[in-house]
Amino acid sequence: MPAEMTMLADHPARQLLDFTQRLDINLLDNVVNSMHHDIGSQQRVAQEVLTNLKDHPDAWTRVDTILEFSQNMKTKYYALQILETVIKTRWKILPRNQCEGIKKYVVGLIIKTSSEPGSLETEGVYISKLNMILVQILKQEWPKHWPTFISDIVGASRTSESLCQNNMIILKLLSEEVFDFSSGQMTQVKAKHLKDSMCNEFSQIFQLCQFVMENSQNAPLVHATLETLLRFLNWIPLGYIFETKLINTLVYKFLNVPMFRNVTLKCLTEIAGVSVNQYEEQFVSLFTLTMCQLKQMLPLNTNIRMAYANGKDDEQNFIQNLSLFLCTFLKEHGQLIEKRHNLRETLMEALHYMLLVSEVEETEIFKICLEYWNHLSAELYRESPFSTSSTPLLSDVPPRRHLYLAVLSQVRLLMVSRMAKPEEVLVVENDQGEVVREFMKDTDAINLYKNMRETLVYLTHLDYADTERIMTEKLHNQVNGTEWSWKNLNMLCWAIGSISGAMHEEDEKRFLVTVIKDLLGLCEQKRGKDNKAIIASNIMYIVGQYPRFLRAHWKFLKTVVNKLFEFMHETHDGVQDMACDTFIKIAQKCRRHFVQVQVGEVMPFIDEILNNINTIICDLQPQQVHTFYEAVGYMIGAQTDLSVQELLIEKYMLLPNQVWDSIIQQATKNVDILKDAETVRQLGSILKTNVRACKAVGHPFVAQLGRIYLDMLNVYKCLSENISSAVQSNGEMVTKQPLIRSMRTVKRETLKLISGWVSRSNDPQMVAENFVPPLLEAVLIDYQRNVPAAREPEVLSTMATIVNKLGVHITGEIPKIFDAVFECTLNMINKDFEEFPEHRTHFFYLLQAATSQCFPAFLAIAPAQFKLILDSIIWAFKHTMRNVADTGLQILYTLLQNVSAEEAAAQSFYQTYFCDILQHIFSVVTDTSHTAGLTMHATILAYMFNLVEENKVSVALSTTHPTNNLLHVREYVANLLKMAFPHLQDAQVKVFVTGLSSLNQDIPAFKEHLRDFLVQIKVSDHRS
């Protein structure tokens, strides 16, 4: 290590902070190197010195020295960061002559650096930072203090091509800063002023772009100009696009040049996306000229799928840009082209390109194409939803649909051949160490499937005979082996399943019978368990997707279910899961058919299932048994005769109840049985079965819950004591041991069962009188007494569910619940924002439930306890966990609304807490890590200011202005802000506070007013 580096340990680097000495450039270079290359204490010292130097108010005065004499590019970059900070935050408090000096210096540096040919390549990062600094200066200076900027930059650009190239980059950055990223970075007034200035002076910039495009032979310069133009196209006055030679220049001069084709196509796409009624001829011209060039560049017989697979990055990007251009143009202006008979052939060529690009095996490109096919098929369907192309008379087909017949047939084939996977199932390990399956909801694959399904359903409505023909042919190709593969079969069956309900019932029946017959034949024909399992799972998937057919054909439905029961004994990988998943799907969609006596049957099928339940589930894994029980529960839930239903539930739960009774009996004789690992595991599994059964049966499950309820709570208490004594003997680490984890599973499943049933119950009074008291007695004291690591977060979520469901019926118990869980949980989560995330989330959900459902309970508790509740709400909305912060804001808003409705309590609340709440809300409003909550911050502040303005706060909030609360609140907020942000001027604060009063009836405007203020507090300003 160089000797200079070792010096850092003794901190000589600190002399860099002494502004009475000359700056030691070598030392600074060494410190910067240490910062980037060292580790440990040396790096920390370097970091600290550089941070302090950057924050020094005079640091910017050393930037020119550093840039001139340092040989280290990282040091130069650091110097530019210092300069950027000054410009962003302190520009307005610098004397004008210093502002002019910095401006002149930066411009000179940019001209000097970028005028040297090749410098943009060799010093790209450095020049980029310089450019960004100039743009930050422009945002402060232009147009007021630098009215000639546009003419200056345009004039300078004509003196040197490399300078011109860099100036294009500056103009592009300025455009992005003003038009794309201005929200939250500058005030609305300033952003509008800069946008207007750019539009007004754009003619000079446009002339420069035109001059370069028409005259320059310098490829990097032309490319930079096209990139800059691309950024301009979404805001420039439309005349520059449609009333000049721009489109012709782009298409004829640049589109077919490999180096420029991608950026040119992006420009044309931006133009194609303009939605206006005028300029029809120009749009037609854009389309025909581009198509003409495309056919030369990419002949219509090109195999684009192969070309993409073998292409370089640049070529692949071109295919993606082509898909964006065609999709954008055809969505916006397709009907304009359709109406012109002389352009029909060109339109068909464009659609042919879309089809070729749709075959490319790249999901992102396919999504772009799919967006257009979805748009087209939906549009054609909605025009005449009741006409289909299944009739032999083509004269019946609406004219637009007729135009697209051949294309749509190819799109159908495409959708069927590429159908995405309908659901994603992950096998994961949960907190208790159990392996479980999770169905994913919003993955990319599922969203793709939903979009493809919607498109294929529209296409089937448009011509179901063609869809049927394509699917039948593809199926025959599976049977005859020409297209056989697991992947092809899966995609075909997913496609067949996706169009359920899109055909007339008779057509659907005929089609489905053919499909199932062919698949059964294929299953017979193929050898090997793997092949048979894949085919069987696809048969089951398809029948599960067609409940209308199953409901109409009882014999077939019964055969399918019996076949599923057979599969439940098949141990081949995945078959049992598939059988259980299909069974639950069918049970949900055909539930009533299982509890009615069907034609030709002597009893409802549910009775047969319950008589044989032991045999059916004997080979299933515990998780599969739970799924099976949920499925049967949906059937039992459909029985409307309550006495019959009760008997069914008794029979249904017979097996788990036998094991349960046996364990309870043994525990009565010897409670230590509840320390046996296998016994505890069985209890967990039985309770999971009950949880799933209850989910499906709903309120009537009370018959079963009542049977095991008190024993279950006794087991809960007993296991809690076991866990507590284990923790006392062995410390908190014992909670990670398998037996203790299993015990906690039993406790959690108990709570899940109770909250699951309560949320589905329909007799709140009965629940409050019979089920809540023993629950509170078993759960609350246990929660309070346990060590934090052994407290179940489900206690809090169960209480939240009960409060939400029972409302006023539970209000009397709120003090008892809060006594037990509130303070002890708050002490777990008020040390930081991270520990115990589940308790944290559920704690605030409980608080939210109590605030909205049982608010009168809060009025009855002691002031000290109420203050604790309010403090915890404030703690919630200061969280960095987004869900907790959002919940906290929601609770506060509900609390304020509820308080205002309680006239007797409201005034005392306002007198004690109103100003405090304002202060805390402003502390998060002005904290950049809480920007996501701005809408809710605005809603609450507007509500509070409105309360004062409408004289809803009648009690005096201060002794200074006892009769004028509005004046007091304004002064209070103004003082608050001046203390927090001393650089703000009185006039700025006054304008802001006045706006809080005048805009509180208009939340969007109020929110933008806050956003403007947040921009101002980042910037020092000595002027009003």
What pLDDT score was predicted for residue 42? 84
- The pLDDT confidence band at residue 1018, using thresholds 50, 70 and 90, is confident
pLDDT (tens digit per residue) in 495-530: 999 999 999 999 999 999 999 999 999 999 999 888
Q: Does residue 430 register a pLDDT over 80?
A: no
Q: DSSP letter at 11?
A: -
What pLDDT score was predicted for residue 426? 66
Amino acid (1-letter code) at residue 267: C
What pLDDT score was predicted for residue 388? 59
Contact between 889 and 937 (Cβ < 8 Å) = yes
Q: Does residue 308 register a pLDDT over 50?
A: yes
What pLDDT score was predicted for residue 573? 81
DSSP state letters, 537-584: HHHHHHHHH-HHHHHH-HHHHHHHHHHHHHHTT--STTHHHHHHHHHH
Q: Does residue 572 register a pLDDT over 60?
A: yes
What pLDDT score was predicted for residue 228? 98
Neighbours of 1021 (CB within 10 A): 15
What pLDDT score was predicted for residue 313? 97
Q: Does residue 555 register a pLDDT over 50?
A: yes
Task: Report the half-sphere exposure of 975 (CA within 13 A, side-chain side).
Answer: 7
> Strand pairing partners for 436?
428
Q: Which residues contact 52 (CB under 8 A, 6 or more apart)?
A: 17
pLDDT (tens digit per residue) in 871-924: 999 999 999 889 999 999 999 999 999 999 998 899 999 999 999 999 999 999
What pLDDT score was predicted for residue 9? 44
In the chain, the percentage of residues whose pLDDT exceeds 90 is 83
Q: Cα torsion for 438, 441, 445, 448, to the nearest 10°? A: 160
Rounded to an integer, what distance in angstroms lies between the CA atom of residue 523 and that of residue 685?
Answer: 36
Q: Mean per-residue pLDDT for 235-250?
A: 96
Q: Mean per-residue pLDDT for 207-231?
A: 96
Rounded to an integer, what distance in angstroms lies between the CA atom of residue 803 and that of residue 758?
Answer: 10
Find where tokens 């805001």 sit. Answer: 235
Q: Mean per-residue pLDDT for 848-861?
A: 95
Q: Mean per-residue pLDDT for 692-721?
A: 98
pLDDT (tens digit per residue) in 249-262: 999 999 999 999 99
What pLDDT score was predicted for residue 699? 98
Q: Does residue 11 register a pLDDT over 70?
A: no
Q: Does residue 1024 register a pLDDT over 50?
A: no
- The pLDDT confidence band at residue 354, using thresholds 50, 70 and 90, is very high
Q: Does residue 613 register a pLDDT over 90?
A: yes
CA distances from 937 to 7, 184, 402 (A): 50, 15, 55
Q: Which of 14-28, 327-341, 615-629 comes out lowest in average pLDDT?
A: 14-28
Contact between 255 and 265 (Cβ < 8 Å) = yes
pLDDT (tens digit per residue) in 709-756: 999 999 999 999 999 999 989 988 898 899 999 999 999 999 999 999
What pLDDT score was predicted for residue 1020? 63
pLDDT (tens digit per residue) in 102-116: 999 999 999 999 988
Find where tokens 């599973």 sit. Answer: 745
Q: Mean per-residue pLDDT for 606-625?
A: 97
In the chain, the percentage of residues whose pLDDT exceeds 70 is 97
What is the pLDDT of the chain when averaged over all its residues? 93
pLDDT (tens digit per residue) in 324-346: 999 999 999 999 999 999 999 99
- The pLDDT confidence band at residue 1, using thresholds 50, 70 and 90, is very low
Task: Report the 3 state secondary structure along 778-839.
Answer: HHHHHHHHCCHHHCCHHHHHHHHHHHHHHHHHHHHHHHHHHHHHHHHHHHHHCCCCCCCHHH
DSSP H/E element including 387? none
Q: Does residue 386 register a pLDDT over 80?
A: no
Q: Does residue 367 register a pLDDT over 60?
A: yes
Q: Mean per-residue pLDDT for 595-616?
A: 97
- The pLDDT confidence band at residue 435, using thresholds 50, 70 and 90, is low
What pLDDT score was predicted for residue 385? 82
pLDDT (tens digit per residue) in 995-1009: 999 999 999 999 999
- The pLDDT confidence band at residue 392, using thresholds 50, 70 and 90, is very low
What pLDDT score was predicted for residue 962? 82
Contact between 302 and 288 (Cβ < 8 Å) = no
607 phi and psi angles, rounded to 5 deg: -65, -40
Contact between 241 and 188 (Cβ < 8 Å) = no
Q: What six digits make up the tokens of 630?
A: 């949920």
pLDDT (tens digit per residue) in 453-508: 999 999 999 999 999 999 999 999 999 999 999 999 999 999 999 999 999 999 99
Q: Mean per-residue pLDDT for 999-1022?
A: 87
> Strand pairing partners for 881?
none
DSSP state letters, 845-876: HHHHHHHHH-HHHHHHS-HHHHHHHHHHHHHH
Helices (H) and strands (E) in the chain, counts: 52, 2
Neighbours of 282 (CB within 10 A): 18
